[in-house]
A and B are shown apart, each in its own frame.
Chain A
Amino acid sequence: MTSARSVLIVGESLAGTTAARELRALGHSGRVTIIGAETHGAYSRPSLSKTVLKDPATDDTIRQDLDGLDVRVVRSAATAAHTDRRTVTTDDGREFGYDALIIATGAAARRLAAPGQRGELVLRTLDDARRLRTRLETARSALVVGAGFLGMEVATACAARGVPVTVLDVDRPLERILGSHLSVAITERAAAHGIRFLQTAGFATLAGDPVHGVTLPDGTELTADLVVTCAGETPCTDWLPRTGLADRLGVGIDSACTTSVPNVFAAGDVTYLRADGTHPERRAPFWSNAVAQGRLAAASALGLSPTGPVQDDYFWTEIAGLTLKVVGPLPLVGEPTTVDGRVTDGRALLTWRHSGGHSTVVAYGLRKPVAALRALAGSVPAR
């Protein structure tokens, strides 16, 4: 039924490799090609801010294999999509046709450096992690710009190495996502681990060329051996101009990972869910969403009815020795509805009940599997 179709996946990401795997699982015997710009191939990014920053021996243990799938991998960057004639061109000058295209190019670290300003450090790729690890060996001080999950994880890695670290943000750590209740607790815990937090009145800019510090809105300059920008991500859509596929939020998809262009589907960090009657437009670049959407995009690309939700909101972080696992809608606002255990003891299960029957469940310092958290939150798994 589907053997004649050729599916082209752009992006050797978790969403891309999951889509390739699902195409085969659904019985697709036609051609599957993945165009991937990452010279190291596919690898697990969550490991970068934890394992890889700590131990060089782990670099080769985070790869993701496509073995046994009969997938052709093209190691080059996609430079343009021609949706009228259904082809994609690559940086090395080749052109690839498709019956169905799955966009899974992910996102890149958002950078704050001025044009031409050198030496900005970010953490998104294996090369970024290696660079940061090397610098951590000799750094005597560090500044982290951005107190979201990644910023707090990088600060944790600095503190674990004995490097004094200050994190800057206009909002308190994780407050935009997890609300003030947990932000206060996490900030205190981080401080006890040697992570200093500085709330700024406006956005800081990077100082020096190469970068050696930050300039605060009042003109104060802070310097450090190491300055790391952790200011979020931007969807990788540079190769999609004039296709009508992307805007500033990324590639808009519906609940079947269908885009606004026929025969084109998208999954993972490059996407946002378009608004409908029940929710506003929303970016949710989480690992579990890349998995859910990779599978849905594969089914849709084959003309099959997709099963399962397009968003499977689960994420986790590890800050100052504390593991947090969260299932359900974000951001969290106000006080939790229920608390089992004590946050001050570093072990608690918290629930926020939202209007409409949904809940968000947070395992704070508790080892809980996602299935148990989903059951408590009343949400359904991706499969």
Chain B
Amino acid sequence: MKISVDYARCEGHGLCADQAPDVFSLDDDAELTYHFEDLEVPDEHTPAARAAVNVCPVAALRVQP
């Protein structure tokens, strides 16, 4: 599974990092780091990553088809 991040839409809420701290993190200025940019999300993190996509309030995260 791959996730695409719409950085322009991201408002730095950080709810994704609550759900999947191994996949997403934010610094104190709420800049998002996605740890698997252009990579497959490792299987052990897939359920948490999908949960993170689900809770993004601005729909900035998408599971790539």
Residues of chain A whose beta carbon lies under 8 Å from any beta carbon of chain B:
14, 17-18, 21-22, 24-25, 43-44, 46-47, 50-51, 61-65, 67-68, 287-288, 291, 314, 316, 323, 325, 367-372, 381-383
Contacts and interface: CB of A to CB of B under 8 A. Distances in A.
A44 B53 CA distance: 11
A18 B48 CA distance: 11
20 contacts: A14-B54, A18-B54, A44-B56, A46-B58, A47-B58, A61-B6, A64-B54, A65-B50, A287-B15, A314-B13, A316-B13, A323-B11, A367-B11, A368-B29, A369-B14, A369-B17, A369-B27, A369-B28, A370-B14, A383-B18
Given A65-B63, A68-B50, A371 B18 contact: yes
Contact of B55 (A14, A43, A50): A14
A381 B15 CA distance: 10
In order of increasing CB-CB distance, the 7 nearest A-B pairs are A369-B14, A369-B26, A44-B59, A369-B30, A62-B59, A367-B30, A46-B57
Contact of A287 (B28, B29, B57, B62): B57
Interface string B24-65: 001111100000000000000001101101111111001100
B50 to A, nearest CB: 7
A14 B28 CA distance: 27
Nearest to A373: B14
Nearest to A368: B30
B4 to A, nearest CB: 11
Contact of A21 (B11, B13, B50, B58): B50
Contacts of A43: 59
Contacts of B14: 369-372
Contacts of B17: 369, 371
Contact of B58 (A18, A44, A314, A370): A44
Contacts of B54: 14, 17-18, 21, 64-65
Contacts of B15: 287-288, 291, 370
Contacts of A68: 50
B6 to A, nearest CB: 8
A367 B12 contact: yes
Contact of B62 (A61, A288, A323, A382): A61
A232 B57 CA distance: 19
A254 to B, nearest CB: 23
Contacts of B62: 61
A290 to B, nearest CB: 9
Contacts of A288: 15
Contacts of A63: 59
Contacts of A50: 58
A381 B26 CA distance: 15
Contacts of A287: 15, 55, 57
Nearest to B32: A369
Interface centre among B6, B18, B26, B28, by most chain A C-beta atoms within 10 angstroms, is: B18
B12 A44 contact: no
Contact of A18 (B13, B55, B63): B55
Given A21-B50, A368-B12, A369-B26, A51 B58 contact: yes
A64 B51 CA distance: 10
Nearest to A375: B28
